[in-house]
Chains A and B, each alone.
Chain A
Amino acid sequence: MTALTMPDLPPSPSIDQVGVHERVARLASRSIKKDAKVHALKLALSMIDLTTLTGADTPGKVKQLCTKAKQLADPGLPGCDDLPHVGAVCVYPTMVPVAKRELEGTGIHLAAVATGFPTGQYPLPVRLEDTRRAVEAGADEIDMVISRGRFLAGDVAYVYDEIAQTKAACGPAHLKVILETGELSTYDNVRRASDLAMHAGADFIKTSTGTVSPAATPEVTLVMLQAIADFHRATGKVIGMKPAGGIKTAKQAIQYLVMVRETLGQHWLHPDRFRFGASSLANDVLMQIAKQASGSYQSGDYFSLD
């Protein structure tokens, strides 16, 4: 495949770190209660990418996860009779056929991490082949990782090309580009990488693999949301956002939704445009929904094991 030539991109603005922290703190203080809270919780559920990404993943575990994706909780539990299904199930490429069978006809998307997840430290042809095979096996969303080393070394053209080529390899599948913000050191880098990924053809930009700490933070997410807003204003293209890793509580999830609403507007509050990469979040959201319906605080004993 011939290497693509990176066009001249408009320069990314530099990020006011103090401003970002202050805005996040201000947005996090919003109080969402009662009906609005239940609405937000159900919306958050519909945006979750239930994820299992370990070397110990078995077909049985993936089936279990898919079963949970289809039915999040016992419908007999308070408030749990009318739940949405999750946005997607996210697995390694080898597990795609198993998940595909389980999710057939449910409307739940099937995401596969590809391109040498989680480090991306493999030759590009191998990573592209990884992508093609995952799509052939039935994944309709691909979560790719960028070469952080190349990006940090200043070789942004390489990163642009790998994203563009992965997008081409995806065919009809949606492409989520993982920036691994925990390894990018500065908000300026996060913003530059976000702009680069969107120009190169990303459908979603995603914070983290979940294997590096820190994973998603509200601050980094705000920087990326602002990048999406600016890109939308400049080009009219709609890019989705997926914070992943470290989002464990319903309260955090609602704070993220507030940020999305305030930065990108009502239209982005949709699973096609915003996702949570999380596995333990779902149960906490479910317990909050049951709490709202029954009035009493819930116990993990009555919800599925992750």
Chain B
Amino acid sequence: MTPDTDTIVDTATDTSASPRLAVAKTYKLYIGGKFPRTESGRYYKLFTGGADSGEVLANVCLGSRKDFRNAVVAARAAQPGWASAPAFLKSQILYRVAEMLEGRSSQFAAELVSMGLEPDAARQEVTAAIDRLVYFAGWADKYQQVFSAVNPVASSHFNFSVLEPTGVVAIVAPETSPLAGLVSVLAPAILGGNTVVVLASHRNPLSAITLAEVLHTSDVPAGVVNLITGDKPELLPHAASHMDVNAVVYADDDPKPLVALREAAAENLKRIAVRKNTDWVSASAADPYAILDTQEVKTTWHPIGT
């Protein structure tokens, strides 16, 4: 066969005739400072613009209970070290996350648009997320002073109450506001010395995974933040019944799973914090009381001179 000369293209001079195949990112989980695929081998399709069908934007990991278990193991291992890190260091690390996010803001905005947000809303999401991180970075070495107390008591005791991290916290991220909303529940939990396992937004998971990449390059120690994408109704019962999860921060707007969540959580007296109907982009979502959602109060009675 003689080659058809018309189809022979000099690729060195003419690139338009052989359009470059885009290199698509594989969105994976974030567990213990690594980005593994789901152990289950299951994925779900995300379509461009948040549609129910059409052009596939990404294949997203459909995380399993074993992925969740692995994430809890990683979070538990990281928790004592992270809790004992100096407050100032935690503050610096959160600020560093904000810096890294700022540098990648256009990537985040584009990603949010690809999932169906309007460009203006996407930009708002990103700037709100960055500002929220800076805001909570400032709180890291201040919340203890503000919320601790010296208590007047009738006996001759010096009585004081200080805060301690609850431990391993499962965060059910907001479905909408996939970046600012996630950061607004994530930052107060980790600045208080907790380690977290995030169940990311099902409809808008991509910016959560890209945020994990930012965390990974911002000196956040491995295991402090772990992120699972997947089906919330499937994963939530395991989060609720897991004996080694000490708290669940529920920021999804759907109230239906809450009853079952509270019932299962009672088994190990799990703390449940519900954040609902919040405008995550607005400054009103920047609230230091969010830190208290995942703190325990320890009160000490210290005898003083008779």
Interface residues of A (CB under 8 A from B): 295-302
Q: For residue B267, which residues in chain A have a CB less than 8 angstroms away from its CB?
A: 296
Q: Is B241's CB within 8 Å of the partner chain A?
A: yes
Whether the Cβ atoms of A300 and B241 lie closer than 8 Å is: no
**Looking at the complex, which one of A297, A300, A302 makes contact with B242 (CB distance below 8 Å)?**
A297
Q: Is the interface of A mostly helix, strand, loop or mixed?
A: loop
Least Cβ–Cβ distance between A77 and chain B, in angstroms: 10
Whether the Cβ atoms of A299 and B241 lie closer than 8 Å is: no
Q: When each residue 231-262 of chain B gets 1 if its CB lies under 8 Å from chain A and 0 otherwise, what string results? A: 00000001001111000000000000000000
Q: Is B69's CB within 8 Å of the partner chain A?
A: yes
Q: For residue A301, which residues in chain B have a CB less than 8 angstroms away from its CB?
A: 243-244
Q: Is B225's CB within 8 Å of the partner chain A?
A: no
Least Cβ–Cβ distance between A101 and chain B, in angstroms: 35
Q: When each residue 35-57 of chain B gets 1 if its CB lies under 8 Å from chain A and 0 otherwise, what string results? A: 00000000000000000000000
Tell me the bound Cα distance from A103 to B238 in angstroms: 40
Whether the Cβ atoms of B238 and A297 lie closer than 8 Å is: yes
Q: Is B196's CB within 8 Å of the partner chain A?
A: no
Least Cβ–Cβ distance between A23 and chain B, in angstroms: 24
Tell me the bound Cα distance from A296 to B239 in angstroms: 9
Least Cβ–Cβ distance between B242 and chain A, in angstroms: 5
Tell me the bound Cα distance from A295 to B237 in angstroms: 11
Whether the Cβ atoms of B241 and A302 lie closer than 8 Å is: no
Q: Bin chain B's interface residue count.
A: 10 to 19
Q: For residue B72, which residues in chain A have a CB less than 8 angstroms away from its CB?
A: 297
Q: 24 pairs across A/B with beta carbons < 8 Å?
A: A295-B241, A296-B238, A296-B241, A296-B242, A296-B243, A296-B267, A297-B69, A297-B72, A297-B238, A297-B241, A297-B242, A297-B243, A297-B244, A298-B243, A298-B244, A299-B242, A299-B243, A299-B244, A299-B268, A300-B76, A300-B244, A301-B243, A301-B244, A302-B243
Tell me the bound Cα distance from A297 to B243 in angstroms: 6
Tell me the bound Cα distance from A14 to B72 in angstroms: 44
Q: For residue A296, which residues in chain B have a CB less than 8 angstroms away from its CB?
A: 238, 241-243, 264, 267
Least Cβ–Cβ distance between A288 and chain B, in angstroms: 11
Tell me the bound Cα distance from A298 to B76 in angstroms: 12
Least Cβ–Cβ distance between B78 and chain A, in angstroms: 14
Which of A295, A300, A301 counts the most chain B CB atoms within 10 A?
A301
List the B residue with the shortest CB-CB distance to A295: B241
Tell me the bound Cα distance from A296 to B266 in angstroms: 13
Q: For residue A300, which residues in chain B have a CB less than 8 angstroms away from its CB?
A: 76, 244
List the B residue with the shortest CB-CB distance to A290: B243
Which positions 55-80 of chain B face chain A at CB distance < 8 Å? 69, 72, 76
Given contacts A297-B69, A297-B238, A302-B243, 10 further A-B contacts (CB under 8 A): A296-B238, A296-B243, A296-B267, A297-B242, A298-B243, A298-B244, A299-B243, A299-B268, A300-B244, A301-B244
List the B residue with the shortest CB-CB distance to A249: B73
Least Cβ–Cβ distance between A79 and chain B, in angstroms: 13
Least Cβ–Cβ distance between B234 and chain A, in angstroms: 15
Least Cβ–Cβ distance between A106 and chain B, in angstroms: 29
List the B residue with the shortest CB-CB distance to A296: B241
Q: For residue A297, which residues in chain B have a CB less than 8 angstroms away from its CB?
A: 69, 72, 238, 241-244
Q: For residue B242, which residues in chain A have a CB less than 8 angstroms away from its CB?
A: 296-297, 299
Q: For residue A298, which residues in chain B have a CB less than 8 angstroms away from its CB?
A: 243-244
Q: For residue B238, which residues in chain A have a CB less than 8 angstroms away from its CB?
A: 296-297
Least Cβ–Cβ distance between B250 and chain A, in angstroms: 18
Which of A296, A298, A301, A302 counts the most chain B CB atoms within 10 A?
A296
Least Cβ–Cβ distance between A305 and chain B, in angstroms: 14
List the A residue with the shortest CB-CB distance to B69: A297
List the B residue with the shortest CB-CB distance to A300: B244
Tell me the bound Cα distance from A15 to B242 in angstroms: 45
Shortest beta-carbon contacts, A-B, top 6 = A299-B244, A296-B241, A299-B243, A297-B242, A298-B243, A297-B69
Tell me the bound Cα distance from A302 to B243 in angstroms: 9
Least Cβ–Cβ distance between B24 and chain A, in angstroms: 31
Tell me the bound Cα distance from A300 to B268 in angstroms: 12
Q: When each residue 256-280 of chain B gets 1 if its CB lies under 8 Å from chain A and 0 otherwise, what string results? A: 0000000010011000000000000
Least Cβ–Cβ distance between A34 and chain B, in angstroms: 16
List the B residue with the shortest CB-CB distance to A302: B243
Which of A297, A298, A299 counts the most chain B CB atoms within 10 A?
A297
Tell me the bound Cα distance from A259 to B94 in angstroms: 47
Least Cβ–Cβ distance between B167 and chain A, in angstroms: 9
Least Cβ–Cβ distance between A118 and chain B, in angstroms: 28
